[in-house]
Amino acid sequence: MSIENMIGNLNENQRAAATFSGAHALVLAGAGTGKTRTIIARAGYLIHSGVPADRIQVLTFTRRSAKEIIERVRVGLGDRAEGLNASTFHTWCMTLIRRMPKLFGCVGHTVIDREDQIHLFKLLRGSEKTNQIPPAAMLCDIYSYARNTRSSLTKTLELHYDEQLPVKEKIADVIRAYEAKKRGRHYLDYDDILDVVATVLKQDTATRDYISQQYEHLLVDEMQDTNPLQWDLLEPLCDRVKLFCVGDDAQSIYGFRGADFRNVHSFTQRVQDSVVLRLEQNYRSTQEILDLSNWLLTKSPIDYNKRLVAVRGNGHKPKLLDFQSEWEEGRWIADDIARRRDEGADWAQHMILTRSAFAARAVETTLLARDIPYVFIGGTKLLESAHIRDLLSLLRIAANPLDELAWMRFLTLWPKVGDVTANRVIEQFPTTGEVSAFVSVINRDDKLPAECKLAFTKVAGMADNPGAAYIAAKQALWPILEHSYTKDWDRRRGDFDLVEKLVKRHTSILAFIEEYLLDPVSTSDVKRAENEDVVTVITIHSAKVSVIS
């Protein structure tokens, strides 16, 4: 496929957007209007017009989207697309941090995920029964929301947690302790990754100039899901690079972390020399479905100012079915899919959307009862599984010996090593130093099993050889993990081979952990290719972040 085909296959509005010649553009793209096709064509058009591929950065919300964009541009342009950058906001910022760690103050830092954050907040808030401070998970939500929206703690509590206002000062104390712990242990949580880069861009002109010299164009997908913190990443670069942002203000799904559709509605006020372009021809649905969608938009107090038109023409009107229970609903779904299969449809032509993983249990049960093959998307992420986290704890301490959370998990894996012993060992560690200093502390402790000491000694110093480190860690921990997960070991053991395939792609442990914590993969993502003809059961949220328009 040539650039002529990439552009020639677009409709008039898509083509106008892809070949836009002004400074900045916001493309308002309704559902199913081919926004991804348009952003792909935009990248291809820029490269064809003479912009070096490596001076274009595409920002998306999932690794899958980024990979899809790069692959489809390469199909169209071949070698000319070599060097095109596409990544999530977090991965882009992490790339900048690893490229200039001293500048961002992040030398040797480890990325921690939400489970790690919650564990830290649990330790810092205390566990007294009379404790009035919110649970650790809520503390994590409060902290993250405030940072993503650039709001004060007071404003965050007033808006969403007003019942916690009486203990505001205690919450503030825990948050300050959390931030001190992160600094001391060289941790970066998800919000730090964006905040560190946004803050330096805003405050340091030289850094802003240097980064803007790397890019001529920033292409931003799903603009409606950006929050104030992400806007702070883009805003300092607006007078230095050209923004091409695509989004649909009616499809925002990240309100829980501060997504602000005003980044769409106020775009032309915020970005000088910008215009708004629209895509309203829908390729996914029939007009009856779009009529319902258009009607719902008219009922909103927000003026969306769009009306989708179906290219596919007319079809069946949507039906609302009422069931007495989730099990009755599940049986109807299974029966309906089985009937369609008997009429010649493939299993893979069917997708079942569920509100949550928990809500899918009745549907899964009925599919199993009818021997209908399916894959569930939206469940446990591969690197979030307990047995995988156990093994990765050893890799984490090899890469960052100051990682207290990883030490606690690794040490308490062993028989007769509880929290008290683990804490005592950790307290003996130096606050800085080489891995060898930590090996010395471990080796002279009489309470730790010889197998524990040997396991750490084997992977110590392997920070830049993740493949070898993973194999060594798996060999050392296999007996203890098999004993810990006896009940479902047969199910879990296959996951280790899946992770091994992923880890071998990287040149450092920190880079591996960062990639799959910033954009996790689930077991179904890795295994899905094993059987293509299956019904897909997927949460609405996963469907939104997975589907390529």
Estimate to the nearest angstrom the gap between the alpha carbon of 413 and the chain centroid.
Answer: 28
Q: How many alpha carbons fall within 13 Å on the CB side of residue 130?
A: 0
Please give the backbone phi and psi of residue 34, each rounded to the nearest 5 degrees, phi first: 85, 40
Cα–Cα distance for residue pair 274/360, rounded to 1 Å: 44
Amino acid identity for residue 160 in this structure: H
Stated pTM of the model? 0.77
Evaluate whether 3-97+197-279 and 321-379+529-546 have a shared fold.
Answer: yes
Cα–Cα distance for residue pair 488/387, rounded to 1 Å: 11
Residue 29 neighbours by CB distance under 10 Å: 30
**What is the 3-state composition of the chain as percent helix, strand, coil, each rounded to the nearest 5?**
60, 10, 30
Residue 421's nearest CA partner among 449, 463, 380, 451 is: 449
Cα–Cα distance for residue pair 189/110, rounded to 1 Å: 8
pLDDT at 193: 95
For 404-419, give one letter per residue: b (16+ CB within 10 A) or e.
Answer: bbbbbbbbebbeebee
Query: Could you tell me which residues are beta bridge partners of residue 522?
Result: 381
pLDDT at 181: 94
Residue 310 neighbours by CB distance under 10 Å: 19
Angstrom CA distances, 296 to 56, 114, 250, 304, 370, stand at 37, 35, 10, 11, 36
Strand-pair category, 535-539 with 351-354: parallel
Residue 30's nearest CA partner among 212, 262, 293, 265 is: 293
pLDDT at 493: 86
Topology, domain 321-379+529-546: Rossmann fold (3.40.50)
Q: What is the 3-state secondary structure (H, E, C) of 473-518?
A: HHHHHHHHHHHHCHHHHHHHHHHHHHHHHHHCCCCCHHHHHHHHHH
Angstrom CA distances, 163 to 125, 133, 174, 514, 515, stand at 18, 11, 17, 35, 37
Token pair listed for 165: 């206002």
User: How many residues belong to the chain?
Assistant: 549
pLDDT at 315: 82
Indicate the domain borders of the chain.
Answer: 3-97+197-279, 114-188, 280-319, 321-379+529-546, 382-521
pLDDT at 263: 66
Query: Could you tell me which residues are beta bridge partners of residue 279?
Result: 29
Residue 346 neighbours by CB distance under 10 Å: 12
Cα–Cα distance for residue pair 418/431, rounded to 1 Å: 22
CATH architecture of 3-97+197-279: 3-Layer(aba) Sandwich (3.40)
- Given CATH 1.10.486, say whether it is the number of domain 382-521: yes
pLDDT in tens, the chain (549 residues): 577 778 888 999 999 999 999 999 999 887 788 888 999 999 999 999 999 999 999 999 888 889 889 999 998 899 899 999 999 999 999 999 999 999 999 988 999 999 999 999 998 987 655 578 899 999 999 999 999 999 999 999 999 999 999 999 999 999 999 999 999 999 999 999 999 999 999 999 999 999 889 999 999 998 888 899 999 999 999 989 999 999 876 665 555 556 666 667 788 889 999 999 999 888 888 888 888 877 877 776 666 667 778 878 888 888 889 998 888 999 999 999 999 999 999 998 999 988 877 778 788 888 888 889 888 776 556 677 899 999 999 999 998 999 999 999 999 999 989 988 998 999 999 887 778 889 999 998 888 999 999 999 999 888 888 899 999 999 999 999 999 999 889 888 888 888 888 888 888 888 888 877 776 665 555 444 445 788 888 887 666 655 433
Estimate to the nearest angstrom the gap between the alpha carbon of 228 and the chain centroid.
Answer: 17
